Chain A
Amino acid sequence: MARSTRKVSAIVWLRRCIQTLCLLLFFYLFLQTAYHPINRTGGPVALFFELDPLVLAATWLAGAPVPLTLLFSLGTLGVSIFFGRWFCGWVCPLGTLHQMMTQVRGGTTASRLNRAVYSPRQRWKYLVLIGLLAGTLTGLNLIGWVDPFSLLYRSLATAIFPAFNLGSHALFAWLYESDPGLGSMRVTRVSEPVYEVLRRYLLVEGRPQYYWGILIGLVFGGILVLNLWRHRFWCRYICPLGALLGLAGKNPLLRLKKDQEACNDCRLCVAVCPAGANPDGPSDRSDAWKPAECFFCWNCESVCPKQAISFEFAVPSREHS
C-alpha cells in the first residue's frame, strides 16, 4: 500500500514540476521580449501563442492568413484528443497561477468540497467560446480579450511587471537616498550589489508605464481572487481555450476508473479536484466522471486513501451506457 501511494504521488510531483517549469518559461520568454543588440529579441518570445489552438481558430475564422507558426497549436489540439485537458493541468501558466491561488485557501475537506464540487455552470465556458467564435466569424474578433495567454501576457506587460519594476526601482532609490544603517554598517552595502544583479537580469531601466494598466491589473487580480471562492474559477467557468480543449478531449483514451467497492465515499477526491470533474462519480450516465472537465492532474488518485481511483487506457464501457 505504501509503495503504490508513493508511486502515485510521484506523478503529482512531476506534474507540479512541469507546471512550474512552464510558468517559469512563460516568465522567461516574457523577460526576453525586449531589445537585444542589434534589433532582435532574446528567443521565441511568442511560443505560448504558437501552441494556443484558440489563437489559430480566431485567426482562421476571422478570415486572416494564418502565420505558419500558429500551426504548432494543432499539436496541442491533437494531444488533447488523446489526453483531454492535460494542457490545462500540466502546461497552462495561467492555470498554474490559478492553481497556486486556489491552494492559498485551505480549510477542512467539507469547506473545500463546496469550492471544488462540479457545478452545471461550468457549461458557461462553452457558451463563451461559441459566442466569441460566432462574433469572429461575423467580423468582431474579441477572442483576444478572453484568451488565457493574451490575458496573462497583457496583464504582465501592462500592469504586473511595470508595477514590480517601478516599485523595485523606487525601493532601491529610497535606500540609496535615506541610507539607513548603524554607524559603518549601512544597508546599501548589501542592497547596492543586489540592485546591480536585479538590474542586469530582471529590471528594466526604461521604466515602462501604460495607460489602462491599472484597470488591466485590477481585472487580473480580480480573476485570481475568484479562485478563493471556487477552485480554478477561470478555468471552469470562463476559459474559452479550456472549452475548446474540452470539446476536443471529451472522449479521451486515458480514462478515470473507479473501484466502486473500495470507495468509502470520503469525497477527498472531490475536495482536491481543481477542475470540478466529479472524480467520485459512480460511472452512471448522469453522475459520471466528466472527461471534458478533467485536467488529468492526478490529485484524486494521489489522495484517495483506498486507492479506489486509477487512470488507464480504456473506452467508455458498453455495459455502463
Chain B
Amino acid sequence: MKKWSDNVMWRWLLSFFRPGKGPRINLGRRNVLTAGALGVGAACLCRVHPQASGRVFNPALIRPPGAVDEQEFLSRCIRCGECMKVCPTNAIQPAGLEAGIKGMWTPVLNMNVGYCEFDCTLCGQVCPTDAIRELPLEEKQKIKIGQSFVDKNRCLPYASARPCIVCEEHCPTPTKAIWVEEIEVTNASGQKVLVQQPHVDPELCVGCGICQNKCPIKDQSGIYVTSVGETRNSENQMLL
C-alpha cells in the first residue's frame, strides 16, 4: 500500500532537511577559507590606489551619462559590454587603467573614437544592473559627463590664424556651449585677417565630446574633454 510519505515530492522536500543523506560537495574548509580570504584581501588591496577614495580624479575617466557615482558604479558594473555594443558612435570603450585595475574593461568614453550623441540614451537603456541608469532624454541632456577645453596651442584660429569653427558648428546644446569671438590677427604672410576663436561656456557644456571628435587636428585635438564637472560626482568639480 502506498503511504503518502512515500510520495517522491514529499520525500525530496524532506531530504533537504536531513543532512548526510544527499551527495556532498567536499571543498575542504581550508580551501574555502583561503578563497574567501583572497577575495577579501584583494578588496582591501584595491583601496590603496589614490583614485579609490575619490582623492584624485582621472581626466580620462569619462563615464556614460546616467552613470552612478564612481564607487557605486564599480560595484554595479558587470563589464558585460552591452553599452559598448549599443553606443552608436563607438565612443564607449573598455577601460584600461583609467579607473584603476579593478575598473578594467568597465565603460569609458573616448572622444577621439566617438562622442556622446546628444539625442541618445541607449547606454542607459541596455545596462542590466543600472550602473548606467536609464534616463528620459530631457534629463540626460542636462547631465554633464565632462568639460571641454580649448587647447590654444593647437586650435587653428589661435595658433595659426586660420579659420575653422567646426567645433562650434557641431556643438549640440540648445544654446551652444561654444561661442566664437571674432578677432583680428596677423597671419604668416603678415596680413591682418579676421578669425573666429572658439571659447567654451562651462555652464552650458555637457562634455559630449563632439567638438573633440570633429576637430580637424586629427592626432591630438585642438579642443578636448576631461572628466571635471561631471554631474554624478560632487567632488570632481571646478565651478563655484
Q: CB within 8 Å of B: which of A31-53?
A: 33-35, 39-41, 45-46, 49-50
Q: Does B59 contact A (CB under 8 A)?
A: no
Interface string of A146-170 (1 = CB under 8 A from B): 0101100110111001000000000
Q: Which of A195-203, A221-229, A247-255, A263-271 contacts B (4 or more CB under 8 A)?
A: A247-255
Given A135-B39, A138-B40, are A67 and B128 neighbors across the interface (CB < 8 Å)?
yes
Say yes or no: A314 contacts B110, CB within 8 Å: no
Q: Does B138 contact A (CB under 8 A)?
A: no
Q: Does B194 contact A (CB under 8 A)?
A: no
Q: Does A65 contact B (CB under 8 A)?
A: yes
Q: Does A64 contact B (CB under 8 A)?
A: yes
Most chain B Cβ neighbours within 10 Å, of A30, A154, A209: A154
> Which of A41, A65, A126, A206 lies in contact with B122, CB distance below 8 A?
A41
Q: How far is the CA of A247 from the CA of B84 in the complex (A)?
A: 33
Name the distance in Å between B44's Cβ and chain A's nearest Cβ: 7
Most chain A Cβ neighbours within 10 Å, of B22, B34, B120: B22
Q: Which of A87-95, A185-193, A284-292 contacts B (4 or more CB under 8 A)?
A: A284-292
Name the distance in Å between A77's Cβ and chain B's nearest Cβ: 15
Q: Does A59 contact B (CB under 8 A)?
A: yes
Q: Which of B24-32, B155-163, B175-183, B203-211 contacts A (4 or more CB under 8 A)?
A: B24-32
Q: Which of A101-109, A110-118, A210-218, A301-309 contacts B (4 or more CB under 8 A)?
A: A210-218
Q: How far is the CA of A159 from the CA of B102 in the complex (A)?
A: 21
Name the distance in Å between A98's Cβ and chain B's nearest Cβ: 19
Chain B residues with Cβ below 8 Å from A147 are: 78, 80
Q: Does A142 contact B (CB under 8 A)?
A: yes
Nearest residue in B to A149 (C-beta to C-beta)?
Answer: B80
Q: Does A3 contact B (CB under 8 A)?
A: no
Nearest residue in B to A52 (C-beta to C-beta)?
Answer: B128
Chain B residues with Cβ below 8 Å from A292 are: 23, 25
> Which of A62, A141, A154, A250 lies in contact with B81, CB distance below 8 A?
A154
Q: Does A133 contact B (CB under 8 A)?
A: yes
Q: Chain B interface (Cβ within 8 Å of chain A)?
A: 8-9, 11-12, 15-16, 20-23, 25-28, 31-32, 34-40, 42-44, 46-47, 71-72, 74-82, 84-86, 88-90, 93-94, 96, 102, 104-105, 110, 113, 119-122, 125-130, 137
Q: Could you pull out 22 A-B pairs where Cβ atoms are within 8 angstroms?
A: A33-B85, A34-B86, A35-B88, A58-B78, A63-B75, A130-B35, A132-B39, A133-B39, A140-B42, A140-B43, A142-B42, A143-B78, A144-B78, A150-B80, A153-B81, A154-B84, A156-B81, A156-B85, A206-B88, A211-B94, A292-B25, A316-B23
Further contacts, 5 of them, CB under 8 A, given A30-B85, A46-B82, A144-B79: A33-B126, A49-B80, A63-B75, A138-B43, A157-B85
